[in-house]
Structure 1
């Protein structure tokens, strides 16, 4: 049985490797904007990240015969809005100017699929919400952070395990979820599909 990570995130891969699992990495290539647009009216932030995680996992699952496939998606809920990857320096700057000195909730949706004989036999999902207490970087610090390019390609425009860690005052909840994949939740979801995490360790 393979452990397949349906994500291109180097941070998620790092967390799993550090926790004893060497996954097969396969990027789903799903159209995230289209998935969000297709959600029913009134869907909440948790519904959004969970739907994205499941779409990634199901797309990848079709390529495997005997596997457990894990998909994840993270977004920051701050000021009543759900924010993904900024993509542009201007947007990242605006977000940080709003986030500085405040708190937000980093939501990470998870989907775990057990695939046998090329079909999804069992699927289970879950979401973790972790409170982030943001610091207040000085203007020159923020500009230097933006110049690294790091905040442009990560959920909410910050990291805990990279340059952004200098500007996070604290985390209330699961830190592995903030990096990209919650180890405790993934362990529980794996048990729901009949897999023990210790059997996956190298």
Structure 2
């Protein structure tokens, strides 16, 4: 079960052989952040990921099958500032002015909760993947066109790697799936921590 509305995260999991149910958590991210005493960026994204996974897990009633819930949250650290989704074209433009020609760190927090079918205690594992992103410098008309698509307004750091924003990313140092929204290597390790092999989540191969 994926506790995220992100189509990019869903696409990564589907391409990797997993077809999760999607349940949006509805977590108030500002409230979660406000409840943390001076968190590091890693602590913040991990806490948000866990809050999302727990909120979805809390909606499950008794009688469910053995269930795994995965929550994620991403932010970009650029020039000492940690930023999330810009929300407006004006903010996104400001972000790109700070990012262009520079490097930033994309942090994605992950939380995996396993709820046993017998109603036993939850098993929880969490962690953060940090990947360095090397940004190009869009021409002014290119940035105008990108902002006009609306894509950068609703994603962490005002860019995507797997969409139109990929034209303006020179490269990544680390795990590219984490930049898209969910780190497959880290998620595999967290699943193992709660006693689940990722291969047991794979969909059967489609007959040719």
TM-score (norm 2): 0.93
Shift of 1:62: 1.5
Q: Distance in 2 between matches of 1:146 and 1:86?
A: 11
Q: Determine whether 1:59 maps to 2:55.
A: yes
Contact 1:113-1:120 at 8 Å conserved across structures: no
Q: Distance in 2 between matches of 1:113 and 1:121?
A: 6
Q: Determine whether 1:101 maps to 2:101.
A: yes
Shift of 1:49: 0.2
Query: Deviation per CA, 1:94-142, whole angstroms, max 9, x where unpaired?
Result: 0001100000000000000011245652101010000000000010000
In structure 2, list runs of 5 or more residues that go unmatched: 204-208
2:34 to 28, 34, 37: 37
Q: Distance in 1 between matches of 2:34 and 2:134?
A: 30
In structure 1, list runs of 5 or more residues that go unmatched: none
1:9 alignment partner in structure 2 = 6
TM-score (norm 1): 0.96
Structure with higher strand content:
1
Shift of 1:40: 1.2
3-state DSSP class of the match of 1:73? strand
3-state DSSP class of the match of 1:56? helix
3-state DSSP class of the match of 1:109? strand
3-state DSSP class of the match of 1:50? helix
Report the aligned-residue RMSD. 0.9
The number of equivalent residue pairs is 198
